[in-house]
Structure 1
Amino acid sequence: MEPIRISYYSDVLCVWAYIAQIRLDELAANFPDQVAIDYHFVSIFGNAHEKLETRWRDKGGLRGYSNHVHEVAKKFDHITVHPDIWAIATPSSSMSSHLFLHAIQLLEIKGIIPKSERIFEKAVRAFREAFFTQLADISDRKVQFAIAKELGLKRKVIQAQIDSGEAYALLSKDFDLVKEHTVNVSPTLIFNEGRQRLNGNVGYRVIDANIRELLHNPADEQSWC
């Protein structure tokens, strides 16, 4: 039986995606052979600094947004957020990180690093944790390479994926898919060939119920709609 494919869209700077990471881990643990996750990025914070300064101008600016993130984060015990998140050392864009992470993903696709070690997923997690817990400016290429080095990845092979244009091609594909599926929320899960989607802060039990419904019902079963 082919695994259920889930297209997962997120922005690496999004606190809701940071919160949701544990749910993806749980999904992979509970359905190791029945579910396959295709990772994509949506550019919610593509122009992060200007976007937040503009949208939060009348609500305290970056410090106001920082307070908002803390209000969200304190509801979830499994994450840690730096006291000055977003208030200082604000990343300019998530797109730089998305490009770099796609370069790492290409190393798995090409077999340069084994998929079984799930380095790409570890890298995404490491980028989020570096930003949210350490205030690392993950839009900075030097910071990105430092994180990659901690994961045992060589600078040369990552840079080659960027220089060749292939990492840009994957990022461009994300742009096309985001437009095709009108994704404007991070995180978003799309499955059942686009007929089902879950947006934003969706609890694990809801995700689990949708997966089990697809697993236990035949593909050609008629809809009750």
Structure 2
Amino acid sequence: MQRITIDLVSDVVCPWCYLGKARLDLAIAEVQDAVSIDINWRPYRLNPDYPPEGVDQQVELAKKLGGKENMDRGHQQLTDLGREVGIAFDFDAIKIGPNTLDAHRLIHWAGTESREIQEAVVSALFKANFEEGRNVGDHAVLLEIAEAAGLESKVIKTLLAGDADKDLILDEIDAAQKMGVNGVPFFIIDQKYAVSGAQPSDVLANAFREIAAEKASEQSKLN
């Protein structure tokens, strides 16, 4: 079985990233008998200028999207697409637009434990923000998610209270932007192929099969 590694650049307040994750999960399930896929979650911030306490989400997003009508239209489209893959988007419930730096620190710390714990944290952050309207910039929310995923809450509380790994996260985002990542989700497959946007699951599954076949062909030439 061929193994593929995906570095997935995303932000937990990006609805297309949540949609992209759900579609990715379906694609992975589709090819699981032929291809093994490891995911490394990489940081990106859609709103780096938001203060630590966050902003009024409804007001700021309407400004960003050119008015409430445009925002509502976009939300309806995403709600319909989300329903197809089991996401119950509740955009009206999102009151605070958070600064996601601390959420990305938590994802990083989860990744130092295992990919499984990192996956659990990422899933919980997306769900908390988009389905439950919880503030994922709030340390209490982050601690609850960390503990539920199996992380040591006392350790995470201490880390969140300080500046641990802030520079590392910001440097990763800077490196991604210098590589040309200016929108998310962005998939970097085996450090060799790039796929941008929330692609349909069948498109991703076909890409994984083709990449796995190419790897198998390259390996057979070496033997």
Which of 73, 76, 80 is equivalent to 1:74? 80
Q: How far is 1:27 from its partner?
A: 4.1
Under a length normalisation based on structure 2, what TM-score does the superposition of the two structures give? 0.78
State the distance in 2 between where 1:66 and 1:100 align.
31
Q: Does 1:198 align with 2:201?
A: no
C-alpha offsets along residues 104-156 of structure 1, whole Å, 9 cap, x if unaligned? 22233xxxxxx5xx121111111111111111011111111122233343222
Which of 92, 96, 101 is equivalent to 2:107? 101
Residues 7 and 39 of structure 2 are in contact (CA less than 8 Å); yes or no, is this contact kept in structure 1? yes
SS in 2 for 1:175: helix
SS in 2 for 1:34: strand
C-alpha offsets along residues 47-78 of structure 1, whole Å, 9 cap, x if unaligned? 4548635423x412xx8535522332223322
- Distance verdict in 2 for CA 1:193–1:102, change over 3 Å: closer
SS in 1 for 2:165: helix
What corresponds to 1:209 in structure 2? 206
What corresponds to 2:41 in structure 1? 39
Q: How far is 1:101 from its partner?
A: 1.9
Structure 2: stretches of 5+ with no match in the other structure? none
State the distance in 1 between where 2:146 and 2:158 align.
14
Report the RMSD for the aligned CA atoms in angstroms: 2.9
C-alpha offsets along residues 144-183 of structure 1, whole Å, 9 cap, x if unaligned? 1122233343222224555685533541342243123211
What corresponds to 1:21 in structure 2? 21
What corresponds to 1:8 in structure 2? 8
Bigger relative contact order, structure 1 or 2 (CA pairs below 8 A, ≥6 apart):
2
Residues 43 and 104 of structure 2 are in contact (CA less than 8 Å); yes or no, is this contact kept in structure 1? yes
Residues 23 and 198 of structure 2 are in contact (CA less than 8 Å); yes or no, is this contact kept in structure 1? no
Q: How does 1:13-162 map to 2 (within 5 A)?
A: 13-29=13-29, 30-31=31-32, 34-47=36-49, 49=55, 52=61, 54-56=63-65, 58-60=66-68, 65-77=71-83, 78-82=86-90, 84-86=92-94, 89-108=95-114, 115=115, 118-162=116-160
Residues 44 and 184 of structure 1 are in contact (CA less than 8 Å); yes or no, is this contact kept in structure 2? no
Structure 1: stretches of 5+ with no match in the other structure? 109-114
State the distance in 2 between where 1:199 and 1:36 align.
18
State the distance in 1 between where 2:184 and 2:100 align.
12
Matching residue's letter, 1:12? V
Residues 27 and 202 of structure 2 are in contact (CA less than 8 Å); yes or no, is this contact kept in structure 1? no
Matching residue's letter, 2:6? I
- Distance verdict in 2 for CA 1:4–1:149, change over 3 Å: closer
Identity of aligned residues (%): 21
SS in 1 for 2:124: helix
Pick which of 27-36 and 182-191 moved more. Answer: 27-36
Aligned residues: 207
